[in-house]
Chains A and B, each alone.
Chain A
Amino acid sequence: MREITYRQAVNEALEEEMERDSTVFLLGEEVAEYSGAYKVSQGLLDKFGPKRVLDTPISEAGFAGLGIGAAMVGLRPVVEFMTFSFSLVAFDQVVNNAPNMLTMSGGQFSIPIVFRGPNGPAHQLGATHSHATEPLYANFPGLKIAIPGTPRDAKGLLKTAIRDDNPVLVLESELLYNTTGPIEDKEVELLIPLGKGEIKKTGSDVTIICYAQTLRLALAAAGTLAGHGVNAEVLDLRSIKPLDLDLILNSVAKTHRCVIAEQNKPFCGIGAELTYQIQREIFDELDAPVARVAQEEVPMPYNESLEEAVLPSEEKIVQAVYQVCYL
């Protein structure tokens, strides 16, 4: 095992898959000569050339649609959105053309495409650049959604996503690019299946469900709670669609208590769906109503302390755990 950053992990996934399959290419704003706004594609232009690593104009609908068209005839594009907040100007392409094509054509055209890039709030980016888009895209059948929280998951999920014959969104996080974590050596082919969550810490008293940015918060909260005699299990979704419902139900049936730490707004957010599924399937196992920690229901303020007040935090997760444990 070695330690690499989340940024390196994404870079390795791209490099390995481009090496392996000549139909894979990367396009997006600043991905080539600038090496990516977050330096994720460092070195790829030198290695694969401008035919396969393409700087696009600031034209999200145009290049997202171009990728989908190329995928219709068998190429496997990786489209980078500089942030998923910008994917919203390509919304029609992502939600209409990519996931609907297979059905609309009666099964004639699958779209093997990956849309990836940072998603969710970062640090004081203001209202327009802080969107956590996962609940938006989760509402469209035909899209798969991976949302890695560690370098290992970022690499393994992206590699699997690139090989998938369907449109897959890989929602990364600007706040995680610099974080490090253990990962297999490069020689090991690391493929993590879509739709499989992972217990990042086992526990017995409460299940904290988390993903991407909230994984680190949940692990920190679990550490704090351990000092207060609460043994929390931390369940990382890793994929939102397909959803690993079995893992969730098994964990909550074991701990009988559940807190969902999500990085999006609460209304119709990921936690709303999870809560429904849990109560529908294992109502009798619950010793307390499911609690949710999400953003506050406001457009993101710029001010640092106000932003902090909006975002989920370790402290908010700890408090939610106390609530479901009646402590």
Chain B
Amino acid sequence: MKIATIKTPDQVIIPLQQHAGAACNPLVRVGDTVSIGQLIGDGEFRIHSSVSGEVTALSEMPHPSGKDVLSVVIKTRNGEKKDINPEELHAGTIKSIIREFGIVEPNGLSTVSKKVDIDTIIINGTNTGDLSSNAALMLDHPSEIVYGLKALMESVGAKKAIIIIELNSEALHVMRTETIPDSNIKIVATPAYYPAGTENTLVTKFARKKVPRGSTPDDRGVLVSSIAAIKALYDAVHDGIPMIAKTVTVAGAVRSPGNVLVEIGTSVKHVIDECGGCSGTPVKIVINGAISGATQYSDEVPVIKTTSGILVQTESDINREPPAPCINCAWCVDECPIGLMPHLLYGYADSAQFDKCAELYISDCVECGMCAYVCPSKLPLVQIIRYGKHGVAEMEGGTMEAEA
């Protein structure tokens, strides 16, 4: 058992936006009694209550994205640990199942977005840096993941699937054993590298299909999904349970780090406390990975469907070295998974030459953070490139889409 369970918190804050796109409409009012698994928000992706209890507030609350988002606050009814009522699985397309059960990929999007012919499914089972929830899920639930994957393959008509796992991961052997009877599911071992999660690079590398700029992998018949979404799909199809919990890696300066199963809406503070609390004074709380995660203003933010890791950093983990001039070492150019020129983008964006930024394809940047990680001059590359992206968007008259 790699994934530990934690005590249900006294209160959950369930934001009505846990995906990219428009927020859901609330279906409950203050004072309502809700039961676990009950539908509380409707929209592009449905949102369900993760606990049984009473709705105490419906207001703007802190959200991991840094903005305040309309959220349903539910006070857990003490002592009552009611079993979830399985939701009736209506016969329907995979798209409606995903919507009804509120299954969101870690990037905030839907697993199946367009109605196209899918030939290959790629499951990203790699973990980067401090995150290990994918490996933990595969170790704990190998047969469930294969079941969920088969369901997805059948419903989209895919002929084969590839699960990508790191060479040194324990899950590699488990998943290989699990998929022996299935000749159409291939386990691919890869050396650990970052960023593995960029869809287009994954497809180019493992499905050997080039994804032209401006199109998505499903245009080429490839669907990219994640272990977390496949497990949620299994829960939905097999057990009728909507996405109300998430496996989250707790790492960094906590007393007992590891992977825990957390109800959606649980505050980060509660999760950290249940993992033994902080060791040392926490200075930075990062959600979703040390390299590309987002820092949090408060530890009151809830765990949402796209959360996969909580990292606590102390002062000694933080590099506050002032930036030095760029020395043209080209490490950022070598690291960029997209093939951009990060140091040039930095220079042009820093001097507000947005036309030059656009010429150098600044909008293709996926903000993986690798350039700023390797930079020996410690330049804030990602921050300035983001500024450049906004500048380019403004210059072109459009508005920058807010990132979830």
Whether A associates with B in a native complex is no
